[in-house]
Amino acid sequence: MNTIMEVKDLNLWYGDHHALHDISVDIPQNQITALIGPSGCGKSTFLKTLNRMNDLVEGIKITGNVIYNGENIYAPKVDVTWLRKRVGMVFQKPNPFPMSIYDNIAYGPRTHGITSRVKLDDIVEKSLKDAAIWDEVKDRLNTSALGMSGGQQQRLCIARALAVEPDILLMDESTSALDPISTGKIEELAVELKKKYTVVMVTHNMQQAVRVSDYCAFFLLGDLVEFSETEQMFSVPKDRRTEDYITGRFG
Amino acid sequence: MENAAVSRAAIPDSSASGFSRRKLWNQGAKCLIWASAIFTCLLLAFIIGYIFYRGVPYLSWELLTSQSSYVKKTIGILPNLLNTLYIIVVAMAVVLPLGTGAAIYLTEYASNKKLVNLIEFAAEALTGIPSIIFGLAGMVLFSEMFGLKQGILAGGLTLVMMILPVIVRTTQESLKTVPNAYREGALAMGASKWHMVRTVVLPNAIDGIVTGCILSVGRIVGESAALLFTAGFGLVLNDFVTALESSSATLTVALYVYASERGETGVAFAIAVILMTLTLLLNFSANMAAKKLKNV
């Protein structure tokens, strides 16, 4: 297993609240890593430290290192826009822009300076195919993305994230607002995506973690309690607290 | 038991008298409300009707396309039409970049919440100040201190002071209606903040910004008090550059001059007709713009 991102002694404070304690973990490349744990345990916060989306939160303080591509992404010289291009993100609620399907996908590439129509056409088609939604939308690329169903919108958002060719895709409970069929499609898609990308997903759904992920990280009250292969965690958890959580003794 | 009996008695039963009294009240209130609604409409209709009745006969092509002449004893309001246009151009050219810029800074960039609240409060308070006070301040500041004399420039800048808070507030309100999810989505793809504001936030707030601008133009057209000391009473036809620093009456000021100093009530009513039509058109187009841009 190759490591694509190495988190070392990561601590995070919201004002006085110490939200993440000494998190150290290696994110494996081309695998799906699921972050699980009860609400408020810090898993979403942790996910957002990986592409520095937490920078937008006021009064936040972060110490420690997140090594990606040989450098600490919190080093002063790191260009956040470069980082976020390499580490894409899909949110809990689908958030397509109020533009056409085509323009949604082309937004990222255009942002990064691609203007050639031929190139953009190419990227749009490829991204939509990668997100397994091409066949559904290829005849209406110029219609508004807001007219799609929730599940389609979420896959569009995945395609939009893929359009800037990231290494890593972060998914923040990306199926929690969707119906079971759409959820199934996104799970399938995630498994397909790990051939080309590394996926890190936050999920509240234990079955989802088992179905989809290769590795699992269990967070509790800001601590990373256990990180291991999913199969192992759900059969022989190392920590008592993990066992209690996954067997449903608290949540 | 007794209590229950009392409370039941307290609710009026449907005896004929109680019922009809309530019905009467109901009818009475309805009539009163109707009457006030009709009175309001009639009042409006009367004012508009009267102004048109008095003003329209004086409207003529000559009035609109010439300037007043003491020698020929003719009256024309072309200079005032142009002055109004000039002052709109000057005021909007300054206030639009300034106001939208400030609003974008306050909603998208500023991190000091206390300062933002203070500025918002100040803007709110400024909108309540009587316009004659802006005129007084503008006269001292622009005409005297900056030496701009009386003219379109001093008048326009005075209007900028007056309209700036309005533009800032309306722009801020429309920026705030753009969902945060759009901002996050753009930033998560590696867009820089300004790129995000330009490509995602502004296009989604443009309807509110345009509406605010049109309504501000409406205020400029209708403003008089703030211009009395700053733009001046001049009725001479000037080109744009000359008008900037020479006394130039806008339509509203001209209305005042013709009505009170020249005793030309008919001309004043004709100007009133023009002003009212303009204001109506502007309000109408503000509504249209808001609807049209919203659907994009």
Interstrand relation of A32-36 and A71-72 (parallel, antiparallel or unpaired)? unpaired
Confidence of residue A213 (pLDDT cuts 50, 70, 90): very high
A192-211 as b/e, with b when 16 or more CB fall inside 10 Å? Answer: ebbeebbbbbbbebbebbbb
Phi (first) and psi of residue B87, to 5 degrees: -70, -30
CB A177 within 8 A of CB A149: no
Query: What percentage of chain B carries pLDDT values higher than 70?
Result: 93
Confidence of residue B265 (pLDDT cuts 50, 70, 90): confident
Quote the pLDDT of residue B103.
Answer: 93
pTM of the full structure: 0.80
Q: Which of B114, B189, B201, B204 to mutate against chain A (most A CBs within 10 Å)? A: B189
Quote the pLDDT of residue B1.
Answer: 45
| From B184, B190, B195, residue closest to A95, measured CB to CB | B184
State how far residue A89 is from chain B, nearest Cα, in angstroms.
6
Nearest C-alpha neighbor of B265 from the set B51, B49, B46: B51
The alpha carbon of B130 is separated from its chain's Cα centroid by a whole number of angstroms, namely 13
Quote the pLDDT of residue B3.
Answer: 53
pLDDT in tens, B50-105: 999 998 988 888 888 878 777 777 788 888 888 899 999 999 999 999 999 999 99
More confident residue, A24 or B232: A24
CB B83 within 8 A of CB B243: yes
Spatial distance between the Cα atoms of B254 and B77, rounded to a whole number of angstroms: 8
Asked if B179's CB is within 8 angstroms of A111's CB, the reply is: no
Quote the pLDDT of residue A105.
Answer: 95
Asked if A112's CB is within 8 angstroms of B181's CB, the reply is: no
Average pLDDT in the A166-180 region? Answer: 91
Map residue A72 onto helix, strand or coil.
strand
The H or E element that residue A60 is part of is: strand A60-68
Map residue A68 onto helix, strand or coil.
strand
pLDDT in tens, A191-204: 999 999 999 999 98
Quote the pLDDT of residue B15.
Answer: 60
Average pLDDT in the B155-182 region? Answer: 92
The H or E element that residue A128 is part of is: helix A117-130
| From A93, A96, A164, residue closest to B189, measured CB to CB | A164
The half-sphere exposure of A50 on its side-chain side, counting CA atoms within 13 A, is 33
More confident residue, A152 or B6: A152
Lowest mean pLDDT among A95-104, A121-130, B175-184, B229-238: B229-238
CB A218 within 8 A of CB A205: no
Map residue B72 onto helix, strand or coil.
coil
Quote the pLDDT of residue B123.
Answer: 85
Answer yes or no: is pLDDT of B296 > 60. Answer: no
Hey, is the C-beta of B193 within 8 angstroms of any chain A C-beta? no
Nearest C-alpha neighbor of B95 from the set B227, B220, B233: B220
Reduced to 3 DSSP states, what percent helix, strand and coil does chain A have, rounded to the nearest 5? 40, 25, 35
Asked if A53's CB is within 8 angstroms of B187's CB, the reply is: yes
The alpha carbon of B214 is separated from its chain's Cα centroid by a whole number of angstroms, namely 8
pLDDT in tens, A129-144: 988 899 999 999 999 9
Quote the pLDDT of residue A66.
Answer: 94
More confident residue, A7 or B237: A7
Asked if B186's CB is within 8 angstroms of A111's CB, the reply is: yes
| Sequential DSSP letters for B153-177 | HHHHHHHHHHHHHHHHHHHHHHHHT
Average pLDDT in the B262-266 region? Answer: 83
Asked if A97's CB is within 8 angstroms of B185's CB, the reply is: yes
Q: Which of residues 103-162 of B touch A (CB under 8 A)?
A: 111
Average pLDDT in the B113-131 region? Answer: 87
| Sequential DSSP letters for B19-36 | HHHHHHHHHHHHHHHHHH
Average pLDDT, chain B: 86
The alpha carbon of B209 is separated from its chain's Cα centroid by a whole number of angstroms, namely 14
pLDDT in tens, A75-94: 989 999 999 999 999 999 99
Lowest mean pLDDT among A98-112, B6-20, B76-90, B257-271: B6-20
Nearest C-alpha neighbor of B280 from the set B51, B100, B76, B94: B51
Quote the pLDDT of residue B148.
Answer: 81
Sign of CA dihedral A190, A195, A201, A207: positive
Asked if A83's CB is within 8 angstroms of B190's CB, the reply is: yes
Lowest mean pLDDT among A28-32, A118-122, B122-126: B122-126
